[in-house]
């Protein structure tokens, strides 16, 4: 039993955030009944390799199971979606008709890939999304079939997932076109300035990068297979396989009618991961963790967002376990951090570069090789990104935590003689669509800032 008297904890979503919350609970001494509910038939596995080593063929999806740090003594209900949450009766409804009672419930249902907005086109053979194991297996098989044929892979959206898929496609020798609605790949997360630097490096690896370009429609070959894509300028781009990488939609549909504030942007919660009701007041006994949680980080002056990063799921899992086990409410103030591997670059970022107004090169060179750039907002250092220089980021993390003035005094041996700060170029919805989105004649997809808070 926890200090607060909970004997039954139910975790909905059996992936990274759910598993790590369960482990943290047991580590904190929770001895009651623990149930994990997951709609996928698989035990918790790691998603980051799906767009990287899995697509490139280095790792099979059967090798992705997340390591378990302890025996959980938990009841696993896998392959069955939760369909409803009844806060009065304190139970989770399942698709097979069962109801699972709880004293505390943890919402860890993550997100799904935003689908192509026109369902017929989205269902064409050759059109893919990438979020889970099955998606990766299908896409990998399709790419392997096309390798060496000269066929083109079209990636719609130049956010992190799209860029990593493009990189894997180039590794397989495919010709790759990426369409990006904004002015640069990764612009939503890292800003147009650094995004352009990365875009140039993608081009140097042979990517046909089409900026300020939307896909108007996906075109059928007459037999239900993808023939190509009609671009906004009228060009018909020949492509046998397309990956729709337009960001994600938080998996909250099953919470409809629960009384929680939940939509495709996530479940509203406070920094202590406690779910909020429509009145903005904490709903007792309900917690959100991982990609599905939408919250305001206490260290930044920013709107609530869901941090779709691996490290955030871990940090929040610890917070939730603590707050279930103790009456001493703790906030999660861990500094956000994320990484991406693509085109021979290890890109690692800390803080919240995606809300910056300025950026400055602090180490290395934008032209070639490793570099580090720091981000500022209203004269305070709030983020940093390192390309092929991950070790130096600890120092920047300390500066961000201390709210060091921007530009920061780095004084590195490989720093520029005269650092000059410029506009970060973070897309603002009013001026430029943020992140990868595709125009559709039917439904304009919502703006998603993929892979960034
Ligand atoms: C292709 C890819 C590459 C990535 N690469 C990186 C990277 O390089 N660096 C990085 O920092 N992050 C990366 N991420 C993000 C990282 O994987 C996520 O932040 C992490 O998986 C979040 O874990 P989660 O448990 O919150 O959500 P998820 O991993 O999405 O898990 C949620 C689980 O809940 C299940 N679920 C949904 N609805 C229901 C329901 N109604 N009932 C029961 N179960 C349900 C889902 O099927 C899923 O199994 C990547 C993600 C993807 C998809």
Token pair listed for 5 = 């008297």
291 lines ligand 1 (CB under 6 A): yes
- Check: CB of residue 448 under 8 Å from CB of residue 437: yes
CA of 217 from ligand 1 middle (Å) equals: 28
Cα 403 to ligand 1 centre (Å): 31
Distance, CA of 207 to CA of 212 (rounded, Å) = 15
C-beta of 76 in contact with ligand 1 (< 6 A): no
Nearest to 115 by CA among 242, 231, 227: 242
**Measured from the CB, is residue 111 less than 6 Å from ligand 1?**
yes
pLDDT at 286: 98
If you take atom 4 of ligand 1, which residue's CA is the nearest one?
Answer: 48
For the Cβ of 15 lying below 6 angstroms from any atom of ligand 1, the answer is yes
pLDDT at position 2: 59
- Residue 109 to residue 329: CA distance in whole angstroms: 23
Report the atom number in ligand 1 closest to the C-alpha of 16: 25
Gap between the Cα atoms of 251 and 143, Å rounded: 28
Which of 76, 109, 169, 345 maximizes ligand 1 atoms within 8 Å of its Cβ, making it the mutation to test the pocket? 109
Mutation test residue for ligand 1: of 37, 38, 112, 138, the one with most atoms within 8 Å of CB: 38
Q: What atom of ligand 1 comes closest to residue 131's alpha carbon?
A: 53
For residue 130 and ligand 1, the question of a CB distance below 6 A is answered with yes
Regarding the beta carbon of 350 and ligand 1, being less than 6 Å apart is answered: no
| Burial of 230 (C-beta count, 10 Å sphere; 0-12/13-18/19+) | middle
Cβ-based burial of 78 (10 A; exposed 0-12, middle 13-18, buried ≥19): middle
What is the CA(323)–ligand 1 centre distance, in A?
Answer: 23
d(C-alpha 65, C-alpha 68), whole Å: 9
- Which token pair is 296? 């305001």
Is the Cβ atom of 254 under 6 angstroms away from ligand 1? yes
CA of 179 to the centre of ligand 1 (A): 24
Q: Is the CB of 51 under 6 A from ligand 1?
A: yes
Residue 218: per-residue pLDDT: 98
Bridge partners, 405 (sequence order): 380
Ligand 1, atom 5: nearest CA belongs to which residue? 48
Q: Does the beta carbon of 251 lie inside 6 Å of ligand 1?
A: yes
The number of the ligand 1 atom at minimal distance from the alpha carbon of 17 is: 25
The reported pLDDT for the residue numbered 363 is 97
Residue 220 C-alpha to ligand 1 middle, in angstroms? 31
Nearest CA to ligand 1 atom 2: 48
DSSP string covering 49-116: GGGTHHHHTSS-GGG-BPPPSS----EEEES--EEEEETTTTEEEETTS-EEE-SEEEE---EEEPPP
So what's the pLDDT on residue 433?
Answer: 41
Taking the alpha carbons at both ends of the chain, their separation in whole angstroms is 35
Give CA–CA dist 56/45, Å, rounded: 18
Tens place of pLDDT per residue across the chain (453 aa): 555 677 999 999 999 999 999 999 999 999 999 999 999 999 999 999 999 999 999 999 999 999 988 889 999 999 999 999 999 999 999 999 999 999 999 999 999 999 999 999 999 999 999 999 999 999 999 999 998 888 999 999 999 999 999 999 999 999 999 999 999 999 999 999 999 999 999 999 999 999 999 999 999 999 999 999 999 999 999 999 999 999 999 999 999 999 999 999 999 999 999 999 999 999 999 999 999 999 999 999 999 999 999 999 999 999 999 999 999 999 999 999 999 999 999 999 999 999 999 999 999 999 999 999 999 999 999 999 999 998 999 999 999 999 999 999 998 999 998 888 999 999 876 444 433 333 322 222 222 334 332
Strands (E), 390-438: 422-423
Spatial neighbors of 277 by CB under 8 A, at least 6 apart, are 259, 260, 261, 283
């Amino acid at each position: 039993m926890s200090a607060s008297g909970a004997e039954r904890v139910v975790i909905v979503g059996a992936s990274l955030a759910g598993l790590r919350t369960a482990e943290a609970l047991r580590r904190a001494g929770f001895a009651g009944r623990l149930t994990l509910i997951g709609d996928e038939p698989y035990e918790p596995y790691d998603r980051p390799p799906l767009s990287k080593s899995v697509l490139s063929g280095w790792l099979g999806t059967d090798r992705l199971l997340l390591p378990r740090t302890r025996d959980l003594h938990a009841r696993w209900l896998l392959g069955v979606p939760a369909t409803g949450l009844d806060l009065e009766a304190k139970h989770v409804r399942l698709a097979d008709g069962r109801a699972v009672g709880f004293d505390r419930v943890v919402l860890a249902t993550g997100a799904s890939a935003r689908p192509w907005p026109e369902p017929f086109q989205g269902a064409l053979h050759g059109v893919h999304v990438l979020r889970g194991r099955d998606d990766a297996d299908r896409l990998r098989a399709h790419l392997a079939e096309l390798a060496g044929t000269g066929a083109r892979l079209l990636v719609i959206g130049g956010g992190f997932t799209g860029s990593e898929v493009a990189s894997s496609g180039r590794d397989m020798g495919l010709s790759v076109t990426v369409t990006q609605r904004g002015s640069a790949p990764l612009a939503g997360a890292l800003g147009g300035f650094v995004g352009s630097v990365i875009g140039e490096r993608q081009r140097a690896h042979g990517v046909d990068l089409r900026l300020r370009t939307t896909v108007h429609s996906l075109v059928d070959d007459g037999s239900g297979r993808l023939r190509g894509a009609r671009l906004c300028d009228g060009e018909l781009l020949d492509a046998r396989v397309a990956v729709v990488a337009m960001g994600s939609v938080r998996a909250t549909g099953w919470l409809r009618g629960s009384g929680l504030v939940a939509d495709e942007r996530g479940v509203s919660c406070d920094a202590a991961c406690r779910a909020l009701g429509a009145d903005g007041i904490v709903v007792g006994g309900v917690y959100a963790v991982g990609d599905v949680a939408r919250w305001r980080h206490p260290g930044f002056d920013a709107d609530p967002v869901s941090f779709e990063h691996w490290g955030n799921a871990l940090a929040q899992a610890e917070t939730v376990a603590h707050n279930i086990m103790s009456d001493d409410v703790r906030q999660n103030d861990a500094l956000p951090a994320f990484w991406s591997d693509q085109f021979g670059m290890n890109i690692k970022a800390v803080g919240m570069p995606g809300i910056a107004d300025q950026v400055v090169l602090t180490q290395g060179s934008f032209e070639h090789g490793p570099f580090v750039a720091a981000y500022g907002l209203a004269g305070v250092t709030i983020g940093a990104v390192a390309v092929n220089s991950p070790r130096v980021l600890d120092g920047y993390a300390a500066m961000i935590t201390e709210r060091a003035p921007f530009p920061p005094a780095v004084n590195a041996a490989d720093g520029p003689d005269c650092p000059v700060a410029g506009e970060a170029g973070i897309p603002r919805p009013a001026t430029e669509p943020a992140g990868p989105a595709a125009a559709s004649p039917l439904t304009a997809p919502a703006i998603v800032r993929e892979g960034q808070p």
